[in-house]
Amino acid sequence: MLKGKFITLGVTGSIAAYKAAEVASLLAKAGADVHVIMTAGACKFVAPATFAALTGNPVHTDLFGGAGGRLIPHIELAKAHLLVVAPATANILAKAAHGLGDDLLSATILAAKGPVLFCPAMNVQMYRNPATQANIAALKRYGHRVLEPGRGQLACGEQGEGRLPEPEEIFEEIARLLGPAQDMRGLRVLVTAGGTREPIDPVRFISNYSSGKMGYALARAAAARGAAVTLVSAPTALAPPGGVQVVFVETAQQMYEAVLEHFPQADIVVKAAAVADYRPAKTAEQKIKKEGETLVIELERNPDILFELGRRKQPHQVLVGFAAETENLLANARRKLAEKNADLLVANDVTRPGAGFGADTNIVKLIYRSGETVDLPLMEKTALADRILDAALSLRE
């Protein structure tokens, strides 16, 4: 999760600076690209060479250039995915709360576009001082994250709060902040995926080219965002996504039964499966023998699962359908949205290169009941999954 993430770690002058070396080491081992800024005070406690060795990057101490050859280091270092200050002394909290930028670290904090994670460490009276508490409150108001310091015996000999949180705790907080948003926690999401198989005889079936990639990406994305996910999957060659309840089915009728069983508990349903509209009216018990020049297989209608869900839908449930079209994309998709009483329709023109069946990418239009249509460019199905979930979330009452 942290692999390739650019993290700037600011270390200030506290006895706990040695613990920051452990934080740097954990981040580097997790594959993050860690750049350390040390204040003059920090250099009194730990040598910059320690951090350089642990991160494989030069350590920055000078506002006016220096290590790494960066001309305006505070602007470059502020472009990190996350800026972490650990340990954060009362002094750096005060400077950050009041917008001072008189050294490399405080200038980098000022230049940061996103939230900064501060991990305070100091003497208990300094921590309780109303000025420090007001500074922490101001930083939180500005959208920064300030970790609670630990309690216990402090380096100065006093007891109380002010200990730097353990490196593992800081590492976990960084991973949480850089991980996917947990904006689907508490929601139950039902996803369908893959192409159903309608048996002709014991060795043959009617199916389609669905690989399941779109539906599996949706299930995986919803689970990563904290949802409890049930994936009703027709046969695919994909590994089941971790942390997802998977119900394997083959035919449209089996998918219908499984989906209806799980539907009442679902808050959001996304129907990415390619369901056969027709099935052989009879499945031969034995393998059909090659006889005449032609063979006629009579087909009968399968249940329309999405239509049935639209009929049963409760006001709190969001129903997302797909439309795989080869012509009249918008007209057909709008008709399906209305007929099936869906809240959102994801329309893919499966004739376009990079869209639809089998590909790792897709090109879709999101069609809302309001009539609004959002054209999305070619993108990975994994990225599209998040866009569809964002749209579904925006429709919740």
Strands 364-368 and 373-375: antiparallel
Helix (H/G/I), strand (E/B), else coil: 56: coil
Six token digits for residue 162: 């002010």
DSSP annotation of 267 reads S
Phi, psi dihedral angles at 372 (to 5 degrees): -65, 140
Structure tokens at 345: 């329709």
User: Which CB atom, from 31 or from 358, has the smaller least distance to ligand PMT?
Assistant: 358
Q: Is 177 helix (H, G, I), strand (E, B) or coil?
A: helix
Exposed/middle/buried for residue 260 (C-beta within 10 Å: 0-12, 13-18, 19+): middle
**Whether 156 is catalytic:** yes
What is the torsion angle, in degrees rounded to the nearest 10, for the CA atoms of residue 173, residue 174, residue 177 and residue 182? -50
For the beta carbon of residue 313, count every other beta carbon within 10 angstroms: 18
CB atoms within 10 A of CB 12: 31
Q: What is the DSSP letter of 166?
A: P
One of 40, 137, 156, 374 is an active-site residue; which one?
156
Contact between residue 389 and residue 218 where contact means Cβ atoms under 8 Å apart: yes
Contact set with ligand PMT (CB under 6 A): 210-214, 252, 271-275, 277, 302, 304-306, 321-324, 336, 348, 350, 356-358
Q: How far does CA 83 lie from the centroid of its chain? A: 20
Catalytic residues: 156
